[in-house]
Every structure is written in C-alpha cells, then in structure tokens.
Chain A
Amino acid sequence: MKAYDLAELAVRNLRESILRNSLTTVGISVGVASLVAMLSLGIGLQQLATRRLVKSGLFDTVVVTSRRDLRNFNRNDDDNSAPSPAESPALDEPARVKIAQMPNVVEAYPDLRFITSFTFDSKPHLTMVAGIPASYKTNDAFEGMQGGFFSSDMAPEVILQKSFAAELLGKTAKPGSDEIALAEIAKPLLGKEMTMRYSERVDASGSAPDGAPGDTSTYSIQSHELQLRIVGITDLDPDSMRGSARARVLLPLNLMASLHAIQPTALRDTTQAASRVPTYSTVSVRVKNPTQIQSVEDAIKKMGFNTFSMLDATRSLRKFFAIVDVFLGVFGSLALAVASIGIVNTLVMAILERRREIGIMKAIGASDVDVKKLFFAEAGVMGLMGGVLGVALGWTLGRVINVGTNIYLKQQSMAPEQIWFVPWWLVGSAIVFAIVVSLLSGLYPASRAARLDPVQALRYE
C-alpha cells in the first residue's frame, strides 16, 4: 500500500474509536510533555548558570601575571618549555597591547590598584582603590547598583562599595541586626565630592614616564589630590575573587592609568621601577567566549607569562549539567514508557475488535505486510499527534513554571529569570522520539495482526 493510503486509512481507523484513541494519544502527549518540561528545565537552568557565570566575568577572563613576579617563584609549573623566570618578559604595556591583539581576545586591561587615603566631610579614610574598564558596565556585580556607571572612561568619578560608603557616613551594621539598605546609604552620598590623595611617579627629568625610554634610572614621588564625584554605590564586589586585595573604591581605568600613581609592586621590583614604560603586576584578559579560554591561555603562556582561569570549573559545571539532563530525561521518559504500554493495549484491543475486518482485507488481497503496515501507521499517527500535543503541553507547562517562578522571585524582590528554555532541536526530537516509541509499541500488535489466519478471522463474529 502507498504511504498516503496508509496514512489515510490509519487516520480513519483511529477516528472510528475516537475516545479510546484520544485517551491513548493524551497518554503519549503527557509522556512527551513531561520529557519536554524536564529537559527544557535542565537546559534553562544550564543556560541561566552559564549566563550568570559569563556575566560574572569569571569564566571568560584569563588572569596574566609575570613570571618575574616573586609571588610566582614557588609555583609548580608543568610547562617546562617556558622560559625561566629570570629571562621571561616583563608584563608591561607592549605585552598588554600584544595580548589585546590576539584573536578571540575582547580586551586586556591592567590591574591598577593602590591603597590611599580619601577625605570626605573633612575626615580621612584609608582604603584600596582600583581602576575598572568600561566593559564592567555590563558586569553582574553592578546589577542593582544605586546611581549610575561612569559617564566616561576619564571622568573624575567614583563608584563606592557599600561597606566603604557606610563607613563614610559613619554607619556600621551591628552584627545580627538587619543590613542597611543600599538606597538609604546612596541617598546622602550620590553626587557628593570627595578628595583622593595619591603619589605620582615622576622620573628625575621631571616628565611623566609615558615618553620614550630615557637613560635615567631614578625617579621622584609627587603628592597630588584629586576631586572625585560619587556616581554610584554598589552592593556587590566585582573583585570578589581577590580576597584581601579587593578594592572598595572604583575609578575609571583610563583615569587611573593617567595618574601614574605608584603601584605597590613598583617598590618591590627595582628593574620595573627604573623603566619608563608602565609595567603591571596583573593583566586581565577578557575572551569572546568561555570556550576560547584554553587557546588564549596557551598563547599567552607561550609568550612567557603565567596564566590563571576558571576553565576547569566550567568544565565540571558542564559535566554536572549533562548528568542533570540525563536524570531529568530518564524521569521524563518514564511517563512516555507508561504511555507506550497504553499504545500496545489500544492496538491489541483494536485487533480483537477488527479481527473480521483483517480477515476481509486478507481475503480481498491484503498481504501480511499491508496489515502490519496499517497497524504500524496507526501507532505512528498516534505517536505523531501525541508528540505534537505533548510538545505544546510541555511548552505551556514550562511557561507556567517560568511565570510562577518569576512571581516568586518578584515577591523576594529579585530580578526575573528565564529558568526554562525549549530549543527547536528539543521540539523536533521530542516528536521524533514519540513516533519512534509509538512504532516500537506497535511492533507486537502489528505482527500479531499480520499473522492472523484469514479463514479463522472471517469466521469471527
């Protein structure tokens, strides 16, 4: 029999016992829906986690340090092909530019930070200040920030960390008491000016060290003051990985660089201090995509620097989600397995009911294969309809979960999240899977129908 004839006959036959076949189809669709809902939840959670991590900057960033740096001397480095610390290159401005020009690198910015004193309301406050690049604007840490980001990368503006802001106002949260609300702290501070003291490194000839390298090896220190306007108060710390070195006052990176302030490492390393070219203790390299971390890291290592990234953490994260997906898929499939038993039952019933009809078809020339195909087609049509219905049902279920979760998040005053996602491949493969499961369920009934003896079947009333 031709395919369209089979399909037509199958649909007709299914329509005849509409209630029973509809119930079976609903059974399949519930199975498919549970599978789709489970898997899309897994995919959605994975995407949520990845999105968060990418935004956090932890997984697309390679931290580069010089091998000359004393801190790295005791490190075990497997990479023996790299030059020894003594002959490794300096992590200076030309090296930074070279790294920034590598493929897949979005930006490479130096880590500029120093401890200094600020005057606010004529009281001095000592803290760590750090420069942050303009790309931090999209960083997760600035979500829920009061005020705004820097107006430009050279603007004399600061963003304060919440604890430092509280210190400026003389407010300290007592242990055990409720935390002070960010908005409460931000109100009296935003738009106010504060003064930063810093020491500029000036070489002996008196010019700033951004010109051509000179032959002098001495430099002097000039003290400066800079008026800064408070534009933002942030709750979170974009430097959370840095532990004790974390900064509580953030400045635009370019402004920070233009100050030529003495870096803590400059005093430690005389060769570095003697150079006119800016040298950095750390350069952070942002990569287009977390998957390209490895190649960029390797390339930087070849240049003779030490690197560090959270790549291994993302690897195990992916493994974790693969396992979660498998578990969710198995549980989702259970419902489909139950539904497949329903298909077997429905088709076996249909054979009993249509025994005579099978006999007639055989008497007028239907082959075993024709009969088998017909029952197969009926199973397949039920699978297709159940699959389509199930995907729609699963999609609706996921949306309901999403809306419900977001209502809950809103009540907890958190930002809404997409915790559930149905990709097109899942829609397609869920329908195909439903058809395959249905066809497998149809195997036994179809071959049983095909084997029926026409003489006996015709005698059946």
Chain B
Amino acid sequence: MGESLIRAVDGISLRVPAGEFVALLGTSGSGKSSLLNLIAGLDRPTAGAVIVAGKDLAGLSRAELAQHRLHSVGMVFQSFNLIPRMTVIENVELPLRFAEVERSQRDSLACEALDRVGLGKRLDHRPSELSGGEQQRTALARALINRPNLLLADEPTGNLDSRTGTEIMNLIREFNESLGMTVVMVTHERTLAERYAQRLIFLADGKLVDDQTNSAVSAVPAQGGLA
C-alpha cells in the first residue's frame, strides 16, 4: 500500500478579526479539527499560510511554534486532556513551568485562574476525582493561565451533559466578552453554535462551504487580529 495525500483542509481562506467568537461547523471528517490544529500551531500546512497575530505559522520553526502555543493560544478539548497524575493546580500551572515563571508566582496565578472558572476549592484533587464539568473547568483555567489572546476549543461540550455544557459555554463566552479573547470553537452542534458564536463557518470535505454572521449574538470590540 502506498501513502496517499489526504487534503484534510483544502483551499480555505478565512479571516477572523480579533475578539470574534467563531464556530467551525461540519460533520466528522470535514476538516474542522485539522483547521483548528493549524491555527494552534500543532500542525503545519503543506502549502499556504496561517497568519496569527501577524506571524505566519507555516514559516516558524518547531521551537517558535511551541512558543506560539505557549503564549498566544489556549486550548480546550473534548476529552479535557488533563494529565491524570497531576492534581488540579499542578495541571493548571504546568504551562507556567514551560514559560519558566517563578514558583512563588505560579501558585497565585493558578489560584486566580481556578477562581475565575469557579473551581477554587478542589486544588489538590486529581482529574479522576472530578466530574466532567470540573475537568473541563480545569482545562479552561489551564488555557487561560498564560493570558493568550486566542482560545481554541475542540468540541468543548462533547463529553458533557447539556446543563454542564451550558455552564462551560457560558464561561467561554465570558472570556470572550470580559477578557476580549478571540474564540474559535469546533462543534457539530448547530444549536450550540447559534447560541454563542457571532459567526458560523461551515466545512465539508476540507472545504469552506458557508460563512454566516450570527445576528442573534452581538459582536465584541476587537483587540488584536487573526487572519
């Protein structure tokens, strides 16, 4: 068997202004997660450019991409992706270790972030001792800790019941509104996207098929840029 090139994301041209809340919609395999990984700097495009805050990620070295993920991007996932061996506070402050923040500052920053997601009292629990909602809150606190401008969420409510999912979405909206973070969220739930996102982008087979502005959600003033 030979290898064949699969175009997960093909010919998409998209511009997201700073402070916008964008939902990427599509069925499984439509390329929405791949697009998110490109913006996150986890993956590199074989052709074309991904420009985030003025920097073309396609031209960055592996070390520079790591810096981009560390300082410019916060990520939350469907499966939370917490490190099971670490406690809540250790998970949250892990990016601070990579950023070489002093130990004395780390604790207060992590507590502050956990307070913001309403999880100030379960610092020393391991992820397995938490409910799904609490785990996602922890993941959100970790995504916030380095104060990035961009929050990337890959099906953040996919593993949660609808009530908990709503709580998480409300938190994400709050970050978008009060902190001015640009949010790009991957989801296949159209109703969820319509409730929170200012703009809905539809993907199919790696191609952009529709780009709608959601008039039901008001826009937040811009602070930086994502193109």
Q: Which A residues lie at the B interface, using CB under 8 A?
A: 1-2, 4-5, 9, 12-13, 16, 356-357, 359-370, 454-455, 458
Contact = CB atoms under 8 A, between A and B. Distances in A.
A-B CB proximity, top 3 nearest: A365-B70, A367-B66, A365-B69
Interface in B134-155: 142-143, 146
B18 to A, nearest CB: 21
Contacts of B99: 365
Contact of A16 (B70, B85, B95, B103): B85
Given A364-B143, A366-B98, A367-B66, 6 more contacts: A362-B42, A362-B69, A363-B40, A365-B70, A365-B146, A366-B66
B-side interface size class: 20 to 34
A198 B123 CA distance: 101
B63 A367 contact: yes
Given A1-B98, A357-B83, A455 B66 contact: no
Interface SS majority for chain B: helix
A13 B86 CA distance: 10
Contacts of B98: 1, 361, 364-367, 370
Interface in B117-137: none
Contacts of A5: 97, 100, 103
B199 interface: no
Contacts of B94: 361, 364
A133 to B, nearest CB: 69
B71 interface: yes
9 contacts: A16-B85, A360-B81, A361-B98, A364-B142, A365-B69, A365-B70, A365-B146, A366-B98, A454-B42
Contacts of A366: 66, 70, 98
B195 interface: no
Best-buried of B43, B66, B67 by chain A (most CB within 10 Å) = B66
B196 to A, nearest CB: 23
A1 B75 contact: no
A225 to B, nearest CB: 93
B85 A364 contact: no
A432 B58 CA distance: 43
Given A363-B75, A364-B69, A364-B142, A369 B81 contact: no
Given A364-B142, A365-B146, A366-B98, A458 B71 contact: no
A5 B82 CA distance: 19
A245 B66 CA distance: 87
B62 interface: yes
B127 to A, nearest CB: 11
A13 B94 CA distance: 14
Contact of A367 (B42, B62, B77, B97): B62
Contact of A369 (B37, B43, B63, B85): B63
B100 A2 contact: yes
A12 B98 CA distance: 16
A402 B98 CA distance: 51
Interface in B66-114: 66-67, 69-71, 75, 77, 81-83, 85, 94-95, 97-100, 103
